[in-house]
Copies of this chain bind each other. A is one copy, B any other.
Amino acid sequence: MTDLEMMGKNAAEAKYNLQALSAEEKNRLLISAAKSLCENTEEILKANGQDIEAARESGMHEGLLDRLRLTPARIQAMAEGLRQIAALPDPVGEVMERFVRPNGLEIEKRRVPMGVIGIIYESRPNVTADAFGLCFKAGSAVILKGGSDALCSNKAITGLLREALKAEGIPMDALQLITDTDRSVTAAFMKLNRYVDLLIPRGGAGLIRSVVENSTIPVIETGTGNCHVYVDKDADLTMAVNIIINAKTQRIGVCNACESLVIHESVRESFLPMLAEALRAHHVEMRGDERVREVLTDVSAATEEDYGQEYLDYIISMKTVGSVEEAISHINRYNTGHSETIVTENAQAAEKFIQGVDAACVYVNASTRFTDGFEFGFGAEIGISTQKLHARGPMGLRELTSYKYAVRGNGQIRE
């Protein structure tokens, strides 16, 4: 048995203890783990310093270094995240449905933990505490594979969390960290479907593609968002500008930011100049189709590639359409199934858009930036699912669970 298989086996054993924990027991652990992170800030910072030093020596650029860097405030925020998870309702044990069959069988559909969850993520070490907290509260054991750049930080954080588990009498293997940075180990992790029930990649498009292509464990794809705002012929144009500026610029590098606009041709002349003024004031570069460029003559041409792109930058593509149907089919061709908005005062166009657009979250007259666990009222989230199986959109605690049927009889047999 390899080290990795042993980790799988350990997690699979720990899951039986976890599923039997009460909400109080889980919350107590989360709060004591938060306390431990705060009390051992120095230890975490020291480990993080080693990561930073190594990364700097290997020439990591400042943007990535910043994602890797921990500070006392960031460690406080990690601890606060665990306390917030403690405050969320426990999804485990919820009776989702109950019905009685004509033969007297009482069938109860009951929410249960997933079992063992694997998470593969990139450099940010704050994900370590966050992912553990959510999976633990949802009653599952978790095996983490973080970025190798953050290995010292992740070891320090998981070490403290495992000590906190031990102190509460909970199996430490509720949380395990893969410390072997060899790529073959990550590849083998993706094949551990014997022990792991669900694998979630958190990171860039390349990581997600690699997991989807190689995993034999069921995967939930998260996080790529080529989100659109469609300005309908019946739009409130001032509202449309506000929503676009918010969706595009309120936070530039996130998956629910707007990357592409679709404009009804009948509002081209009235809308585009006011939009361009606002976008320019926010330093957003526009790339448009022919009909956009007839109105905004200094805008560069949008290519096919532009329409398919998640810029995560101060750039936006623009496409003109003749109808809501055409808007829907443009969006369905290029989007990533994340979040799409129509701005319209026309209820029929709104319903058509909701029905026709294939995405996790379809908005009418609101910013795409609301696709978020906190904004939906779910509390902390593990990510935004862009696939259709199991969970779609913000994934909170409930979306990290499964269910089972408990069936009670008095001797029923099948005829």
Name A's B-contacting residues (CB within 8 A). 16, 19-20, 99, 101, 105, 107, 110, 114-115, 193, 197-198, 212-213, 216, 218-220, 236, 239, 242-243, 245-247, 250, 329, 332, 350, 354-356, 358-367, 369-370, 375-377, 387-390, 392-393, 402-414
Contacts and interface: CB of A to CB of B under 8 A. Distances in A.
A213 B217 CA distance: 9
Chain A interface, DSSP helix/strand/loop, else mixed: mixed
The 9 closest A-B pairs by CB, nearest first: A366-B409, A246-B413, A388-B402, A369-B414, A390-B390, A218-B389, A239-B411, A366-B412, A361-B405
A132 B180 CA distance: 46
A3 to B, nearest CB: 21
A229 B361 CA distance: 44
Contacts of A114: 388-389
A219 B387 CA distance: 12
A80 B303 CA distance: 52
B408 A376 contact: no
A231 to B, nearest CB: 13
Contacts of A250: 413-414
Please tell me how many copies of the chain the complex holds: 2
Contacts of A193: 212
A369 B405 contact: no
B212 A408 contact: no
Contact of A361 (B20, B197, B407): B407
Nearest to A244: B413
Given A216-B212, A332-B16, A376-B107, A402 B411 contact: no
Contacts of A246: 413-414
A103 to B, nearest CB: 8
A242 B198 contact: no
Given A364-B407, A390-B390, 20 more contacts: A20-B356, A101-B375, A212-B216, A213-B216, A239-B411, A245-B413, A246-B413, A362-B405, A365-B409, A365-B410, A365-B411, A366-B410, A366-B411, A367-B414, A369-B414, A370-B414, A376-B405, A388-B402, A389-B390, A393-B404
A217 to B, nearest CB: 9
8 contacts: A107-B376, A115-B358, A218-B219, A364-B409, A366-B407, A366-B412, A367-B413, A392-B403
